[in-house]
Structure 1
Amino acid sequence: MNKKKRYTVMALSALLVASTMAHNDEAKPWTFWYWMYGAVSKAGIHADLVGMKNVGLGGTYLMPIRGVSERPEYQGEAAQLSPKFWEMVDYSFQQADSLGLDMGIHICDGFALAGNPSILPAESMQKVVWTDTIVGGGKKIEGMQMWQPESYKDGKLQPAGSEGGYYQDIAAFAIRCKEKPQLFKPEKIEYTEAVSTAKGYYLAAKPASIIYSFHKPVTVRSMRVVPNGNNIQSQRLLVQASDDGINFIDIKQLVPPRQGWQNTMCDYTFSLPTTTARYFRFSWTPEGTEPGAEDLDAAKWKPLLKLENIILSNQPMINQYEGKTGAVWRIETDAAAKSETVAMADVLPLKLENGMVMGVMVNGNLMNKLPKGTWRLLRMGHTSTGQTNATAGTGKGLEVDKFSPAAVRKLFNSWYALFLNRPHSDVVKYLHIDSWECGSQNWGYQFAEEFKARRGYDLIPYLPIMAGVPMESASRYEQVLKDIRLTINDLVNEKFFKTFTDLAHEQDIEVSHESIAPTFPADGLQHYQYADNPMGEYWLNSPTHDKPNDMLDAVSGAHIYNKNIVQAEGFTEVRGVWNETPAMLKPMLDRNLALGMNKLFFHVTAHNPWMDRKPGMTLDGIGLFFQRDNTWYPEARGFVDYITLCQNYLQQGRPVVDIAVFTGEEIPSRSLTPDKLVPMLPGVFGAERVASEQKRMANVGIPMEESPVGVTHSANILDLKDWCNALHGYKYDSMNKDALLKWNFEYSPKGKLPGNQDYRILVIPQPANTLSAEVKAKIEELREEGIIIIDKPYQAKDFSQYGIEPDVVLPENMDYAHRCVLEATGRKDIYFLTNQEDKERQITATFRTRTSKIRQVVKLSLPAYGSAFVILSNKEDMQVISQTGHKLVEEEGAGFTENYPSVLAVSDKWKVHFDDIRKDTTVTLPFDWSKSADEKMKYYSGHVTFTSSFEWGDSVPVSAEEKMEVPAEKTKTAPSNDGFIKIQLGKIGDVARVLVNGKQYGYAWTAPYEVYVPKRDLKNGSNEIQIVVANTWHNALQGAGEGKAPFKGIWTNAKYRTKSKALLPAGLLSTINIVY
């Protein structure tokens, strides 16, 4: 049944003055502030920070990027860590302090990730390396020298056998081989017509085959694929064999592992069924390619086979061992491959001193001879991965060992702590750990000791497994490999993230980190337990680089670990085209607010050291150009105020999420995107979604699209804009094993996690036979406590059969967020609603209240891409108001709307002034200056002031509404001064601020482009109205590129890419209405 309740609707047209409620500073968005190439000036610092303050930001993360020597033409003088650099840092701290802005500092120079010149090779990220020597048994091996494996020297990795360099032995082994190990070199290599080798590697765009021919049959048990670059297609080969070169049989269809974008550190090893043949054919077709995702990054691009080499071996190897050892972020998906690998019979430890074999341990005795047979001697050790904080300047150095607290402390003291010792460093409130772009490590400080302490057995006897050697049995070596990854996960969390958090908290500083996946082989949620403010990332107009999983990692990580603030690095653009506007950004912003973000960090504000070059410095064209010399930056205050208002509400209370989805026990792992849930919840998603998802994943024809200009990619990449409210009124979080096992029932019947997050449903996508005994036991405990367990495909359309109605019922292309606030006076439920369509809509929303039998229905009018807050409360004195306190009137059958029935006349003539070219003209509206015959106006980008007037007072007729309110026996000759007039700008290009009688009243930056003015501020008679319009840089940069710059000083280091030379509309593009 429906029962009337009291509620407040906050309409977020986003064009009005600041909210009637006071915002806390925590609700203000921040920005990343990049100092590029050491080109920094005090004038620029002051202008940047004043701009941030004026636009309404709360603070900034200061991050110097790249070095002076990389772009000497910029004449940078503030090289990182130099006296000039510290002078600029001191000045920025003083300026921020005087302006009331807070700051954060990254853990190292640059933004990726944690390196420093002070880090020695032994203190850097480590990897396991090895060399092979094949010998015959029965001969003396004592005194035999073994080649040193790969080592690190003078800033680079050098190949095995090189002299010197940093390298440390771990152990050596003798492995009995049933036959002499061989890597087979074909007598002849042929390929079909579609293959080209002109570039020095095999390249094909159409179905193709490569054929290896041998003089006599060879027996193959494994193969290694060496791709050219990050190429998924080379991992999709169909392996076939033949005795005559004519009739081939299928041996194996290679299945790529799930893999991230930083994936070129290792080749790909595939186990094969033992096969003896003279001919091996490797066939490829683009058909069947997945559309690509964050965990299959290389599949996003145009399907091209790019292959350096295929190496066949007679030795059994562990399938895809490179990822299983933690050397790179990969997850095997070919479960059948385990049965193809034959385990080795004997593995004996060697005694090694300074690379020289001193003997072999046989039955516990040191012998100087190996037993008879063929033996593979394996020398295993570790060296630096060679990874650096690549985007740094003079603060560049090796990436710190993520398993060494001492090395982490050294890094902290060598960079971050230096900032804390500067004057005015009290402005520094955050330590930030940014994009994980330094790959993986599978060895480090006391790794073997930590492994033994945590896993309960010694890793060293099993070390050959890390070289891909199958030992004992498939089940045994797979367990050892899993234990290695579990240990890696434990150490990166406890030794790296926790150490940084402890160091920061000692200084009363909060910590934020971004996602660790899909680059480092760990649990993508667990590290957020050590973040005060988990951070995700999303990209604008960049399908190949967008990070829906990053955002879901941060949101779920925050929720399961009791973190209220979910930060987001927002609106990064891989190729900015200078047409970006706040209206363009709003739909994406709102989707991420609905997802769970509640603190935006704009990416990026690039410091512009020059006062006479505009738009100025950028991150080499990457990122949203949210900086002082962007034309519409002053008018962005309206956009920022809107964000602040939203975040103010969405930081209150805690999120309401019904469903937890278990991420499993595999390492690496991360949150699940909604498409991964369709097989488990087909009924809730609906038949249409099931069918569309099957079609998307089939990817028939490999459809491609171009976005942005010059970037061609799969048209079927997952885009969260297509998944608004995908579960039709239910929200979900991903939950890792750590959080699952901590789930308790302090307040029955709803489970309480460490984050005090209520979940009523647990979805288990993994097959039961993959779950450990402790996880199975926990699931049964949850079941007994009343949690609904979904461990097989759920066909019902909702969970009402369990008494769990949809939280909110909305039309298509709407999304929402729900926060619950428990106050002394009762409960308050805050719903954020977002219209994701580019048109005005009359919507009906139905809300679930505390008892499922009571539903609250609200009708509401939302503009194109509009949004609203609906607040349900048990208080008795609620009213319906707009963002600025304007009363929304509930009209019968129309829902909540505003009542402005009368229209004022505005003069047809508008005086127009172009600020930067000092030109004046008089126009009638609409006026699009990009169509002007005057080229200075035509290509103009910047501010233009439109001035006109309107009458108010005795000469203005009373509104129809006011007439109804006046008794019949009385008369009224002029409108009341209570309330507001509303100035409707209609369509504009692109943003505006409105002044009446010289006083500013608001910003028009998104539909419906309206500004409110109190009637009491109007004069009796003529009132001047000024509308200051700003367009984007697009037209001026287009003109400058054609030699028609509208004014001097136009310069940027961002390449200007656009398909069309057409100019964008600019100005007041419709007539102006004033209603009251």
Structure 2
Amino acid sequence: MNIQSIIKLSVFCFAFGNFSAQNPWPKTTETAKPWTRWWWMGNAVDEKGLDKQLTTLNKAGFGGVEIVPIYGAKGFENQYINYLSPEWMKMLQFTTNKAKSLNMGVDMSVGTGWPIGGPQVSEQDAATKMIVQTYTIQPNEKFVEKIVLKDEKQKNLKSIKLDIVTAYNEKNEAVVLTDKIVRDGSLNWKSGPGKWTIYAVFTGKTLQKVKRAAPGGEGYTLDHFSPDATKDYLKTFDKAFGNSNYGIRSFFNDSYEVYNADWTPDFKNEFKKRRGYDLSPYIKYLVSNEENEIAGRIKSDYRETLSELVLNNFTKDFTNWAHSKNSKNTNQAHGSPGNLLDLYAAVDIPESETFGSSIFDIPGLRRDSTDIQKSDIPDFNMLKFASSAANVTGKKLISNETFTWLTEHFKTSWSQAKPEVEQVFLSGINHVFYHGTTYTPADVPFPGWLFYASVNFVPENSLWPHLTGLNSYVARTQSVLQSGKSDNELLMYWPIYDQWASPKGKDVTFKVHNVEKWLQPTPMYENLKKLNKMGYSLDMISDKMIGESKLENQKIQVAKNASSYQVLIIPELMYLPETTLNNILKLAQNGASVIFQNEPKDIPGNFEVEKRRSQLKSLWNQIPFQNQGENVKIANFGKGKIVLSSDVEKGLEYLKIEREKLTETGLKFVRRQFDGGKYYYIVNHTSKEINQFIPVNYTGKQTTIMNSENGDFGVAQTKNNSVRIQLKSGESLILKNSEIADSSIPKWKYIEKTDSPIILDQNWQLTFKEGGPELPKSRSLKKLEPWTKFPEDSATQSFSGTGVYSTTLSLKKKNADDYLLKFDKLYESARVIVNGQEAGIVWSIPFEINIGKYLKKGKNTIQIEVCNLMANRIRYMDQNKIQWRNYHEINFVNIDYKAFDASNWKVQPSGLDGEIQLIPLYFSK
């Protein structure tokens, strides 16, 4: 064999041979790495700054950025660039070219600030509301008043029009008078006997403008219900982009926060076309405060119409437009009055968001009540609307705006971020966007430019040197969660008509911030919580999705290559469309298993009520239920089975649907299937250590344990469909259960015993490496102490940066399999260097790291580079009135949206405290 053949063979073996066999981790693509929302303040960017920040983000482990232009910093007005101007497009092209050279991706918002809108939104295309005026005609009285708009703010608008005029007598008999109004507002109609009330509905404007707009992005917010408004809005981007997408992977639309938008100029016609009747005779029931059956029915039809309009006239058009640019689109559907499942499913990348701080039982995890939002706790099941839509319809990526207002500014550690992002992963999301990073010019001093609602993922953050710990954890985890497809077994129908049928209020919006009103009180939510805790995996499904479902190998599947499901659950409800029940029965006829928690009581809406109600009853009566013991009725229906029971758990037992019993330990999991096996991502958010065999429903022929924090892996011990795991509180792991055993993968190292710990209670040297406002003096320590324990040195009280604790350790013998360096208290993260070799970053609870392979018998040097929070330096700056908050618009606020002032903060402990132990470990053989 000649030398060239040998070289080719060597390369082939490296690429496809032992390398892939020994390493079970999927490839870490730029999509698997975390991305960050990248605010361009005032669009005051230049090529040098863009180059520098992208390079810095890349080195820290980011896979991409999402450009969102916002308001600017004061004093930099001459550097502002107008949004979508030729100069702005030039900066965008530079950004995407540079990102491509770094193997990074770029997304961008289709607007500045939020919600979308801008100077291209004409008055006609602006967000629209109905304005209602009422008039009373007394018996035998001639009506002489003119029906004209009285609202002073609206009077000068050219797009205002009178849409509906309807009169009601005391018997609630309606007369539509819209065509009886002459041009000047006079009413050409003579009332009958008795008292009459006239309802006049005008098309008005919300007058809302874009919040936090960037230069060139100011203007009205968009009417999301109008196809013409959407089309007109996107023309501006067509003009700026031409035939190119400028390297944009996905165009992004932020959450729907269009306040009081409840109408559109063509609503009356759209309503009649979609609901089958004219709204005009019923307008009183929509706009008044009556709470009766007909009001509920009219409002249900009204809300369903709004939902269809935002789906068909905005969301789908937005998707089609992005595709015309050979790009994808990303959309946050929450906050809108639409069916969230259908809206999320209508885009390429559905995106949810977390806002605030979750509660975890992890000992040592800081959650100071003064530093968190009091009202906002991220809701796990709210996150599942986006992941459900993606899983059910076969979308590969589900994104999340992560860490918004996680804590008060400058007080978020990476250890606090970890369980929060894990909760996001457990909900089925696999593509997180940090919130976020602000572009800062090179000549702006500490703390740089900052956005008022974010965790500061910026190079100026004193914790930045250790961010690669969090980022590599996210990247490894997402590489798995983006592989294969979701493996949930249950589908839960969302009875949205029960929400829409409420006679209270008018439009119903499904926000992240009001789940306690529309989500948490529902039977569906109780089911989701209970079944998840029991170890069942669920996605939610809409009426539209049920109508698109087919049976594939006795499983329900909505779209080709999407996940398939064993059971459809219809939770307790009042209203179910007869069309949806018909579609459910077709699925059962073809082999589906269905559980009803109760018999549907009624059909929603006000069209042909008796006819449709009769159809619903007739369809239900086709199901040949037989009693099967207490609280369970069953029916064989075609090839399928239908169960009726208020106890869903009993129904699942009857259908022999297995749950994952591992949740009985308190562990949480999410499961994915790939060709030849399944992944389990397992997290310990309990307060205890789990060290036992845990049952899993699928083990395959080989189970490999994979550690996302450090990349370690090894073949697990298994017995009787159980896997042995060792997980301390706050830790996670991945099980890769494969049908093919790979003998090249080593065994997992289980800790079988430990020796007495060596306490590192010797002298330490403390020096300071980088940070400010100035480096404190070095000092010798007789015991470990935080550097903030020395108030006589004012520099230690105000310092944010990196302090280095150094010592020497003499090991008389080195006979353990490994040695665990365990920190008692760490404020906030540390890089550990042993004998000049980097052992890794300690950034998450439990604060510990294996360092055995770097130790030697005899003398060892240990350096611990600790980074603290930005808080102490910001406190110092506010106490000394050093100006750093200098922005237009909202400027800078604290977590309660009040003026930010850190001058009265307590000094945040910084450095090391308590004991450090070196624990000898012995692994199983």
Name the TM-score, length of structure 2 as normaliser: 0.76
What residue number does 1:807 align with? 660
Q: Distance in 1 between matches of 2:857 and 2:751?
A: 29
Report SS of the residue matched to 2:464: coil
Query: Does residue 96 in structure 1 map to residue 99 in structure 2?
Result: yes
Q: Distance in 2 between matches of 1:55 and 1:446?
A: 50
Q: Distance in 1 between matches of 2:201 and 2:892?
A: 47
Asked if 1 retains the 8 angstrom alpha-carbon contact of 2:409 and 2:455, the reply is: no
Asked if 1 retains the 8 angstrom alpha-carbon contact of 2:252 and 2:330, the reply is: yes
> Which is worse superposed, 855-864 or 746-755?
746-755
Matches within 5 A, 1:618-657: 618-620=450-452, 622-657=453-488
Deviations for 1:180-209, whole angstroms, at most 9, x for unmatched residues?
Answer: xxxxxxxxxxxxxxxxxxxxxxxxxxxxxx
Q: CA deviation at 1:904?
A: 8.9
Q: CA deviation at 1:401?
A: 2.1
Deviations for 1:117-175, whole angstroms, at most 9, x for unmatched residues?
Answer: 1211111222222434444677887xx67242256xxxxx716xx456531232434x2
Query: Does residue 532 in structure 1 map to residue 535 in structure 2?
Result: no
What residue number does 2:153 align with? 158
Matches within 5 A, 1:81-230: 81=83, 88-89=91-92, 91-110=94-113, 112-135=114-137, 146-149=146-149, 158=153, 162=155, 165-173=158-166, 175-178=167-170
- For 2:213, which of 392, 396, 401 is the aligned residue? 392
- For 1:1036, which of 849, 869, 873 is the aligned residue? 873
> Which is worse superposed, 903-912 or 637-646?
903-912
Asked if 1 retains the 8 angstrom alpha-carbon contact of 2:885 and 2:892, the reply is: no
- For 1:402, which of 211, 224, 230 is the aligned residue? 224
Q: Distance in 1 between matches of 2:566 and 2:34?
A: 33
Residues 806/494 of structure 1: CA separation in 2 closer, same or farther (3 Å cut) = same
- For 1:959, which of 811, 815, 819 is the aligned residue? 815
Q: Distance in 1 between matches of 2:847 and 2:185?
A: 78
Q: Distance in 2 between matches of 1:123 and 1:795?
A: 47
Q: Distance in 1 between matches of 2:24 and 2:552?
A: 38
Q: Distance in 2 between matches of 1:907 and 1:1070?
A: 7
What residue number does 1:745 align with? 551
What residue number does 2:173 align with? 344
- For 2:393, which of 558, 561, 564 is the aligned residue? 561
Residues 764/1050 of structure 1: CA separation in 2 closer, same or farther (3 Å cut) = closer
Residues 450/113 of structure 1: CA separation in 2 closer, same or farther (3 Å cut) = same
Query: Does residue 491 in structure 1 map to residue 309 in structure 2?
Result: yes
Report SS of the residue matched to 2:584: helix
- For 1:500, which of 289, 311, 318 is the aligned residue? 318
Query: Does residue 846 in structure 1 map to residue 695 in structure 2?
Result: yes
Query: Does residue 772 in structure 1 map to residue 577 in structure 2?
Result: yes
Report SS of the residue matched to 2:477: helix
- For 2:413, which of 576, 581, 603 is the aligned residue? 581
What code does the residue aligned with 1:1028 have?
Answer: E
RMSD (CA atoms): 3.9
Residues 1056/42 of structure 1: CA separation in 2 closer, same or farther (3 Å cut) = farther
Q: CA deviation at 1:63?
A: 0.7
Q: Distance in 2 between matches of 1:1043 and 1:379?
A: 60
Q: Distance in 2 between matches of 1:1007 and 1:55?
A: 21
What residue number does 2:449 align with? 617
Q: Which has the higher contact order (CA 8 A, sep 6+)?
A: 1
Q: Distance in 1 between matches of 2:760 and 2:145?
A: 94
Residues 119/348 of structure 1: CA separation in 2 closer, same or farther (3 Å cut) = closer
Structure 1 residues without counterparts, runs of 5 or longer: 1-17, 152-156, 179-341, 361-368, 686-722, 882-886, 890-895, 962-979
Q: Distance in 2 between matches of 1:942 and 1:158?
A: 53
Report SS of the residue matched to 1:745: strand
Deviations for 1:684-721, whole angstroms, at most 9, x for unmatched residues?
Answer: 89xxxxxxxxxxxxxxxxxxxxxxxxxxxxxxxxxxxx
What residue number does 1:444 align with? 264
Q: CA deviation at 1:754?
A: 6.2
Structure 2 residues without counterparts, runs of 5 or longer: 1-22, 358-372, 501-507, 599-645, 701-718, 894-899
* Between structures 1 and 2, the one with greater helix share: 2
Q: Distance in 2 between matches of 1:32 and 1:345?
A: 53
What code does the residue aligned with 1:125 have?
Answer: A
Report SS of the residue matched to 1:1006: coil
Q: Distance in 2 between matches of 1:678 and 1:491?
A: 26
Q: CA deviation at 1:523?
A: 1.0
Name the TM-score, length of structure 1 as normaliser: 0.66
- For 1:523, which of 333, 339, 343 is the aligned residue? 339
Residues 474/578 of structure 1: CA separation in 2 closer, same or farther (3 Å cut) = closer
- For 1:481, which of 299, 307, 320 is the aligned residue? 299
Matches within 5 A, 1:937-1016: 937-949=796-808, 957=813, 959=815, 983-985=821-823, 987-996=825-834, 998-1011=836-849, 1015=853
Query: Does residue 52 in structure 1 map to residue 47 in structure 2?
Result: no
Asked if 2 retains the 8 angstrom alpha-carbon contact of 1:902 and 1:959, the reply is: no
Asked if 1 retains the 8 angstrom alpha-carbon contact of 2:332 and 2:351, the reply is: yes
Q: Distance in 2 between matches of 1:150 and 1:571?
A: 45
> Which is worse superposed, 132-141 or 28-37?
132-141
- For 1:608, which of 440, 454, 459 is the aligned residue? 440
Report SS of the residue matched to 1:122: coil
What code does the residue aligned with 1:499 have?
Answer: D
Asked if 2 retains the 8 angstrom alpha-carbon contact of 1:604 and 1:625, the reply is: yes
Asked if 2 retains the 8 angstrom alpha-carbon contact of 1:1040 and 1:1050, the reply is: no
Q: CA deviation at 1:90?
A: 5.0
Report SS of the residue matched to 1:396: coil
- For 1:78, which of 71, 77, 80 is the aligned residue? 80
- For 2:182, which of 336, 344, 353 is the aligned residue? 353
Asked if 2 retains the 8 angstrom alpha-carbon contact of 1:528 and 1:557, the reply is: yes
Q: Distance in 2 between matches of 1:659 and 1:728?
A: 13
* Between structures 1 and 2, the one with greater strand share: 1
Asked if 1 retains the 8 angstrom alpha-carbon contact of 2:107 and 2:251, the reply is: yes
Q: CA deviation at 1:645?
A: 0.8
Q: CA deviation at 1:1044?
A: 11
Asked if 2 retains the 8 angstrom alpha-carbon contact of 1:638 and 1:1003, the reply is: yes
Asked if 2 retains the 8 angstrom alpha-carbon contact of 1:528 and 1:561, the reply is: no
Q: CA deviation at 1:59?
A: 0.7
> Which is worse superposed, 665-674 or 1062-1071?
665-674
Asked if 1 retains the 8 angstrom alpha-carbon contact of 2:225 and 2:310, the reply is: yes
What code does the residue aligned with 2:224 have?
Answer: K
What residue number does 2:252 align with? 432
Q: Distance in 2 between matches of 1:754 and 1:106?
A: 30
Q: Distance in 2 between matches of 1:421 and 1:1000?
A: 49
Q: Distance in 1 between matches of 2:242 and 2:915?
A: 53
Q: Distance in 1 between matches of 2:409 and 2:396?
A: 35
Asked if 2 retains the 8 angstrom alpha-carbon contact of 1:783 and 1:789, the reply is: no
Q: Distance in 2 between matches of 1:957 and 1:537?
A: 52
Report SS of the residue matched to 1:597: coil
What residue number does 2:605 align with? none
- For 1:865, which of 718, 730, 740 is the aligned residue? 730
What residue number does 1:833 align with? 682
Report SS of the residue matched to 1:103: strand
Q: CA deviation at 1:647?
A: 0.9
What code does the residue aligned with 2:534 have?
Answer: H
Q: CA deviation at 1:562?
A: 1.9
Report SS of the residue matched to 2:390: helix
Q: Distance in 2 between matches of 1:377 and 1:645?
A: 64
Query: Does residue 25 in structure 1 map to residue 16 in structure 2?
Result: no
Structure number, greater radius of gyration: 1
Asked if 1 retains the 8 angstrom alpha-carbon contact of 2:570 and 2:596, the reply is: yes
Deviations for 1:939-994, whole angstroms, at most 9, x for unmatched residues?
Answer: 32101233445679xxx745266xxxxxxxxxxxxxxxxxx766555542211123
Residues 990/467 of structure 1: CA separation in 2 closer, same or farther (3 Å cut) = closer
Q: Distance in 2 between matches of 1:798 and 1:855?
A: 26
